[in-house]
């Protein structure tokens, strides 16, 4: 039997997987929308967004709207590929 492929540890986190999954279906999403969809705290969501952005899985844009900063995220081609690989690896695990 071949050795099992490793799951991407970055996507193996429930919150990071949720963020990338939401972004896969949308062109972009703002911080508030992601917070509502994932049920995460603002602090935790911010940390996880930074981790995904550092890996190049998502792009983060911050802009000033009035007196508030609006953070918008979108998935990158690298992020889409990483998610596809993650799902493919899970399928391999299920068909042992």
Domain at 14-94, CATH from 1.10.1740.10, 3.30.420.140, 1.10.10.10, 1.10.150.240: 1.10.10.10
Spell out the long-range contacts of 42-46 with Cβ–Cβ below 8 A and sequence spacing 24 or more: 44/15, 45/15, 45/19
First to last CA, the chain: 9
Please state the pTM of the whole predicted model. 0.90
Task: Specify the 3-state DSSP secondary structure of 69.
Answer: strand
Q: How is residue 76 annotated by DSSP?
A: -
State the pLDDT at residue 95.
84
Question: What is the mean pLDDT, run by run of 10 residues, along the chain of 96 residues?
Answer: 81 96 95 97 98 98 92 98 95 84
């Amino acid at each position: 039997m071949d050795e099992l492929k490793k799951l991407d540890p970055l996507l193996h986190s429930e919150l990071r997987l949720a963020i990338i999954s939401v972004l896969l279906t949308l062109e972009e999403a703002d911080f508030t929308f992601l917070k509502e969809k994932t049920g995460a705290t603002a602090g935790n969501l911010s940390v996880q967004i930074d981790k995904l952005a550092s890996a190049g899985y998502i792009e983060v844009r911050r802009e000033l709207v009035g007196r508030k900063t609006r953070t918008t995220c979108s998935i990158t081609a690298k992020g889409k590929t990483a998610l596809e690989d993650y799902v493919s690896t899970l399928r391999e695990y299920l068909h042992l």
